[in-house]
């Protein structure tokens, strides 16, 4: 008989087939039993990141709008300050 390690080629083929089957079975076990629950968590995490990005975009828009309003108020205060200085100057002349 021809073979390797005291086993013939048919026996080696059977051992390789069994090892391949067990490796596939273990792979499926990891895929569904161990990594399966993480898929839902990862999907939920991605949705949370999407919501967070949307909220940050809205906040940025609100901040920009508030900055514009603050700038306008600053300009108005500057104009009022100039008018008060002008009126005070007229009052001091009298």
pLDDT for res 94: 60
What residues does each domain of the chain span?
Answer: 1-34, 37-94
Which of 62, 20, 53 lies closest to 28 in space, CA to CA? 20
pLDDT-based confidence at residue 85 (cuts at 50, 70, 90): confident
**Digit-coded pLDDT (tens) for 10-53:** 898 999 999 999 999 999 998 888 888 888 889 999 999 999 99
Q: Contacts from 57-64 at CB under 8 Å and sequence distance 24+?
A: none
pLDDT for res 93: 66
């Amino acid at each position: 008989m021809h073979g390797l390690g005291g086993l013939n080629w048919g026996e080696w083929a059977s051992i390789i087939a069994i090892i391949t089957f067990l490796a596939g079975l273990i792979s499926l076990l990891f895929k569904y039993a161990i990594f399966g629950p993480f898929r839902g968590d990862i999907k939920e995490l991605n949705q949370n990141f999407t919501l967070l990005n949307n909220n940050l975009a809205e906040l940025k828009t609100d901040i920009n709008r508030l900055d514009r309003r603050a700038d306008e108020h600053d300009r108005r205060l500057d104009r009022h300050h100039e008018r008060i200085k002008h009126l005070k100057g007229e009052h001091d002349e009298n």
